[in-house]
Structure 1
């Protein structure tokens, strides 16, 4: 019986693959459509250990990154992919699998490494109530259970913790064209906690409603849940377009402040000669996001003397990728821009520059000199990057990447770091010490990415 590798980004579940089909379920989404070239998607064309009931998953992400700012505490600021400079870092070890039995379905994917700390720290919802949700969920990247309905090309109803794909990029670096994501991806959610329904009315179309706790939040900030949906259309092997849209209340203690966000991407493969020893494939991805918060002291896209300052998010990113020598090598170049007045989606700097609540006393900020994120505070940034990949087989990828990032305000870690004068958390802080934040950074990333 023939097996099909189904697009992870289209299904919204990284690594999900259709099991062998029988006469009672002959319809498979994306049957015959190539998706393994797409940014944010599984690049493999086969699954080595797939069985009828279980597909194991193992992914490893190791990196060594050098910042030319050389912060004394080796801390990376403003990234969910990177945590430590000038050190070999296990960013992520993902281990688990997918289960299928009589239309019942489940997925469990554990996560270990620095991302299990870096990503949960950006969610402040655990400070509402008890039980330390950030610790409870920290070592899970995906964990859900659901049921498949044999209607049209399939309907999946899932509840649990799953990936968002807002901002195009996958949470798993082995699926992305670039390592350090542009602001559009890095400042939008990597996960959702709630319920989703994946509806495939045709082979090339997915409609996916969500009822979730909130915007990358383990819990809820207020009484209203978050609502959203994804619509993806992948009509050919060379074209894909999608939109993700979200509405919720995600400001702690401010139920009148509503958030809307629209994320939109286009991917086009404009050249394909897979057997060529020269250029074998070329493609680009284009993403544009727009959103705002309104109410509770802020006023969306325009300032108002009575309603408050403007608070919105506008960003875009574009990448072009060229594959060489039968797709064994690839070169990617791209970048993006972001404008976020109010800084409500900015990744807060770490260490003494962090405005996150103190884990011992949530009424106080963790850092003594926090990065301001008040209504009206401006934040404009841009970035560019280029990398070269070597892919000796479909499970292993070696990457070297150069990244430049810039902001209109001091934001990135400078030579003095963001921890203490000598970089250690145990060092008492002199009265005249401040976090050393600068407006730009240049770095080189070396990454080893594995997937089985």
Structure 2
């Protein structure tokens, strides 16, 4: 699922028209002079080694090693889009591409390789509708869009294609985030959209961005109705930023009467800033709160419904505080969040339990021998907390070590017996009495190496 805030990353020390994704006019640059390199979900660099009139390349590498204290026998990580396998060094994400500009024409192409190119697309059920394997077609693209810039106000950009979602605050690219394993709020909401967006900058500090998209993190449409939504970002100073993202669509496969609404809201505050200090340089926090619901087609949203029409909604929040010190070479982050999702319509289905896709013979059910059910009325509540320490020897490289605890009210995370087979291999025949080993909590340590040029 998931989110990114790099659509208007404009830093102080280099021209925004050169370094940002947003083509701007020479005289009116949105967010000009605003420091954003401290913000959660944003590019932390203040300069780039690449310069070009028509093309600015981008390279990102994300390698991780994670140890689960549950120690599942198949090494499978459950309920995460950042991680895939335990106790192994994994190339989570290799991103190659960049931004193209010619006069007012613009395009961005970012290729993706690694475990996330499998983990994230598996959560999209829309390829089951119709032919052509959309999950395979788009799998190795994280962003690919083309557009045009209009010299109106502080700029208007019209883009069509595959672009990042802003819902959930965190960036899809880990090198931009304060924490590695995202809280439930971020990990259970979209990472990408496929459609059309219009970025409107009516003033220097304001962006209004409406969307018409195929659906909620979906390559195609689940029903006849497209998804619609918008982002509004207000960033009036280098110390403060707020944004809201709102979405409406029909995203239950084969149930066109069921409509989804979601509202995502974030605030970022830098409450301390002494860049020349040899001790603490800056301190900041991010706060995100989401609410949403599905209504119709057998569910009743927030309304306390009957057995035939149970409530089905999403409530979540997450909070992180970060402290930089030693000339911003080191940082310490603490935080966590909570989520409740009756109906489980946004819960990441456990790997090995179900394909996370609808059963072709019954779109209201999930596929798999031992499905983690997502029926109306099924309850899911979770909470998490984490802390990490970063060493950033330069603006392109981050070494991170992180401790994470996650808990749910129902068995959900991979236990010692794993979720694949008695010995962890997919080639092993399953005994009639075998069941995946799911438990209610997990603790893990993550080591990550993050690189960006």
With structure 1 as the length reference, what TM-score do the two structures score?
Answer: 0.95
* Structure 2 equivalent of residue 69 of structure 1: 70
Question: Displacement, 1:203?
Answer: 1.0
Question: Displacement, 1:397?
Answer: 0.3
Is the CA contact (8 Å cut-off) linking 1:10 and 1:206 kept in structure 2?
no
Change in CA separation of 1:300 and 1:424 when aligned onto 2, cut-off 3 Å: same
Aligned 1:5-44 pairs, distance under 5 A: 9=5, 11=7, 18-19=17-18, 25-44=26-45
Is the CA contact (8 Å cut-off) linking 1:355 and 1:371 kept in structure 2?
no
Q: State whether structure 2 residue 101 is matched by structure 1 residue 100.
A: yes
| C-alpha separation in 2, matches of 1:23 and 1:86 | 46
| C-alpha separation in 1, matches of 2:164 and 2:9 | 7
Query: Cα RMSD over matched residues?
Result: 2.2
| C-alpha separation in 1, matches of 2:338 and 2:408 | 10
Secondary structure at the aligned position of 2:118 is classed as helix
Moved >4 Å (runs of 4+): 12-17, 20-24, 357-366
* Structure 2 equivalent of residue 47 of structure 1: 48
Question: Displacement, 1:275?
Answer: 1.6
Question: Displacement, 1:9?
Answer: 2.1
Count of residue pairs brought into register by the alignment? 445
Secondary structure at the aligned position of 1:184 is classed as helix
Deviations 1:295-323 (A, max 9, x none): 00000002323860000000000000000
Question: Displacement, 1:50?
Answer: 2.3
* Structure 2 equivalent of residue 277 of structure 1: 278
Is the CA contact (8 Å cut-off) linking 1:57 and 1:451 kept in structure 2?
yes
Is the CA contact (8 Å cut-off) linking 1:75 and 1:84 kept in structure 2?
yes
* Structure 2 equivalent of residue 5 of structure 1: none
Give the gaps of 5 or more residues in structure 2: none
Deviations 1:253-279 (A, max 9, x none): 111100000000000000011121110
Is the CA contact (8 Å cut-off) linking 2:25 and 2:155 kept in structure 1?
no
Is the CA contact (8 Å cut-off) linking 1:249 and 1:259 kept in structure 2?
yes
| C-alpha separation in 1, matches of 2:425 and 2:24 | 63
Is the CA contact (8 Å cut-off) linking 1:353 and 1:435 kept in structure 2?
no
Secondary structure at the aligned position of 2:353 is classed as helix
Change in CA separation of 1:311 and 1:20 when aligned onto 2, cut-off 3 Å: closer
Change in CA separation of 1:314 and 1:362 when aligned onto 2, cut-off 3 Å: closer
Aligned 1:105-116 pairs, distance under 5 A: 105-116=106-117
| C-alpha separation in 1, matches of 2:190 and 2:341 | 15
Secondary structure at the aligned position of 2:17 is classed as coil
Is the CA contact (8 Å cut-off) linking 1:264 and 1:287 kept in structure 2?
yes
Change in CA separation of 1:451 and 1:214 when aligned onto 2, cut-off 3 Å: same
Secondary structure at the aligned position of 2:199 is classed as strand
* Structure 1 equivalent of residue 391 of structure 2: 390
| C-alpha separation in 2, matches of 1:247 and 1:58 | 34
Aligned 1:138-177 pairs, distance under 5 A: 138-177=139-178
Change in CA separation of 1:307 and 1:205 when aligned onto 2, cut-off 3 Å: farther
| C-alpha separation in 2, matches of 1:14 and 1:63 | 29
* Structure 2 equivalent of residue 264 of structure 1: 265
* Structure 2 equivalent of residue 293 of structure 1: 294
Deviations 1:408-438 (A, max 9, x none): 0000000000000000000000011000000
Is the CA contact (8 Å cut-off) linking 2:353 and 2:371 kept in structure 1?
yes
| C-alpha separation in 2, matches of 1:81 and 1:92 | 9
Question: Displacement, 1:143?
Answer: 0.0
Aligned 1:115-154 pairs, distance under 5 A: 115-154=116-155
Question: Displacement, 1:116?
Answer: 0.3
* Structure 2 equivalent of residue 451 of structure 1: 452
Is the CA contact (8 Å cut-off) linking 2:366 and 2:374 kept in structure 1?
no
Secondary structure at the aligned position of 1:351 is classed as coil
* Structure 2 equivalent of residue 4 of structure 1: none
Give the gaps of 5 or more residues in structure 1: 1-7
| C-alpha separation in 1, matches of 2:301 and 2:360 | 31
Is the CA contact (8 Å cut-off) linking 1:167 and 1:185 kept in structure 2?
yes
Is the CA contact (8 Å cut-off) linking 1:49 and 1:56 kept in structure 2?
yes
